[in-house]
């Protein structure tokens, strides 16, 4: 996207991130979330259910936080 001069925002998903925060974006690219909490997964699920588009990178959620 950088090469095509498409503006992007970099965001960090935190425990305080809400669906309202994500609803400002038509598309979210989450490039390498090796560890994903149940809370983050639930938030992203809600985002997609509200017609958001979500793209993951390789090996998403393949590690356990413990």
pLDDT in tens, 37-60: 889 999 999 999 999 999 988 877
Q: Residue 9: its pLDDT value, please? A: 92
What would the pLDDT profile of 20-30 be if each residue is shown by its tens digit?
A: 999 999 999 99
CB 22 within 8 A of CB 14: no
DSSP 49: H
Which domain range does residue 23 map to?
1-66
Q: Residue 25: its pLDDT value, please? A: 95
Model-level pTM?
0.81
Query: Which residues does residue 63 pair with via DSSP β-bridges, in sequence order?
Result: 35
How many structural domains are present in the chain? Answer: 1
Q: Residue 16: its pLDDT value, please? A: 94
Structure tokens of 50?
A: 């509200």
Q: Around Cβ 45, how many Cβ atoms within 10 Å?
A: 11
């Amino acid at each position: 996207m950088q090469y095509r001069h498409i503006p992007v925002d970099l965001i960090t998903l935190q425990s305080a991130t809400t669906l309202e925060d994500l609803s400002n974006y038509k598309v979210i690219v989450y490039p390498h979330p090796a560890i994903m909490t149940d809370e983050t997964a639930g938030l992203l699920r809600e985002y997609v259910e509200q017609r958001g588009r979500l793209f993951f990178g390789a090996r998403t959620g393949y590690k356990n936080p413990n």
